[in-house]
Amino acid sequence: MKKLLLMALLVAPLITTNAEQAKSKKKGEKGFTSLFDGKSLKGWKVNKENPESITVKDGNIVIDGPRAHLFYAGEVQDSNFKNFVLRAQVKTFPKANSGIYFHTKYQDSGWPDAGFEAQVNNTHGDPKKTGGLYAVKDVNPAPAKDGDWFNYEIRVKGKKITIKINGKVTSSWTEVPNAPHLKSMPGRKLGSGTFALQAHDPKSVIHFRNIRVKPLK
């Protein structure tokens, strides 16, 4: 009897924690559709540069290797998003660099020319840190830590881009015509397109999971 009571006391907190996590996960998620099944890269397309840099393991998209990009090419919105909220859980490892592209399009190699990049970098040498709109509205210091899962949110509505990390706004920017700092990046403009995850370099290891999107009108 004492053993049963002890087991019940040990298991109860775990049940409570799991229930709280499930409740937290569902909160505010109405209208979202998953883009990653947690088992495969179905609905995604790795470009030809270094496809071995992107794999799936233990329910995560694992980024580990030289430059490559994983583009969403699935059925949701025909892979063409204009106004949306994109959410993902991200975990970085020491000195890792990555990014989440949006309003982009598939290309075989190189850094994506089209769209914008939401930066993922907590301790890499690049001063542009997690939560920034790369080379447009940068962030430093990083609002997240290596080794911890953190929530990444990108919202695009009209001409405004808002990025949140763990529910807090880290970057907000409204597109204006002929922005001087974008002249060297002609592809950095709002329109529509797909998403892409970046493998930056051989020393960068990043995990992504629970990727979902909510189209906005």
pLDDT of 114: 97
Cα separation, 166 vs 146, in Å, equals 14
pLDDT tens-digit series, residues 57-73: 999 999 999 999 999 99
pLDDT of 85: 99
pLDDT tens-digit series, residues 71-130: 999 999 999 999 999 999 999 999 999 999 999 999 999 999 999 999 999 999 999 999
Q: Which of 152, 126, 150, 154 is nearest to 140 (CA)?
A: 126
- Of 161 and 15, the structure prediction assigns the larger pLDDT to 161
- How does strand 98-104 pair with strand 116-120? antiparallel
Strand partners, 63: 54, 206
Torsion of CA 134, 137, 142, 144, to 10 degrees: -80
**How confident is residue 27, by pLDDT bands cut at 50, 70 and 90?**
low
Superfamily grouping for domain 31-215: Exo-inulinase; domain 1 (2.60.120.560)
- How does strand 98-104 pair with strand 84-92? unpaired
> What's the rounded mean pLDDT across residues 194-204?
98
Q: Is the peptide bond before 141 cis (omega within 30 degrees of 0)?
A: yes
- In percent, the amount of the chain with pLDDT more than 90 equals 82
